[in-house]
Amino acid sequence: MNVIELPESWRGRAIVVSGEPPDDVVAPDSCRTDKRRREWRLSRAAARLLPDRAYVSYSHSEPYAAAAKDDVPVGIDVQVIRPMSERALHLYLSDAEAAAARACMLRDALLHFWCAKEAAFKRRFGETVTLKQTPIQMLAQRDHGLVFDVVETVAIGDVIVALTRPTS
C-alpha cells in the first residue's frame, strides 16, 4: 500500500492510501463485487494504520481509500479530482453555501465543497438525512484547501480530502 502524505495536523487522525491491501484483510460476504471488496479491504487496511479510537469513518474513491479515527465523532471523504457541474449545486448546498462556492477562487472549489459536505454528513451519522441538511460555513481559503466551521479540505496530487475538525 502507498500512504498519501496528509497535512501535519491531520496525522494520527486520518490516512489515505492506494495500492493493494494486505491479504489478511478479508471483506465480509456482504461485499458482492470485486470493486466493493477491494474498497472495503483498502479502507479497513488504512484504518489499521491509525491508533484505536472510539469513532471511525471510511471513504473510497478508486484507486484511493481513506480512514479517520477520533475520540469524538469524525468524518472523512476522499474524491479523485474531476469536473463538477454548477447545475447540481442546489442538490447538496443551501443557497448561502452555493453562493460561497461560486465566489470561491480555489481551483476545484465545487469539489472541495462536495467533499466537505460528505465528511460533515458522515460525522453526524444518522442525524441528518441529506447533504443539503448538513450545514457547513466557509471560514477561510488556504493555498490548497478550504477551512469550514466543522471541516477542512486539502488537495493533494489528484485527490481532494476532507476531514472534520476535532472541535466540531
Ligand X SMILES: CC(C)(COP(=O)(O)OP(=O)(O)OC[C@H]1O[C@@H](n2cnc3c(N)ncnc32)[C@H](O)[C@@H]1OP(=O)(O)O)[C@@H](O)C(=O)NCCC(=O)NCCS
122 binds ligand X (CB under 6 A): yes
Q: Does 97 bind ligand X (CB under 6 A)?
A: no
Residue carrying C-alpha cell 460528505: 118
Q: Which of 13, 15, 45, 58 binds ligand X (CB under 6 A)?
A: 58
| Secondary structure class of 168 (helix, strand, coil) | coil
Q: At what angle do helices 109-123 and 95-103 cross, to 10 degrees?
A: 140
Q: Find all residues with CB under 8 Å of 148, minimum gap 6, and list them.
A: 116, 120, 136, 137, 138, 139
Q: In angstroms, give the least distance from the CB of 97 to ligand X.
A: 13
Write down the least CB distance from residue 128 to ligand X, Å. Answer: 8
- Taking the complex as a whole, the smallest distance from the CB of residue 111 to ligand X amounts, in Å, to 12
Binding site for ligand X (CB under 6 A): 40, 43, 58-60, 77, 91-92, 118, 121-122, 125-126, 130-131
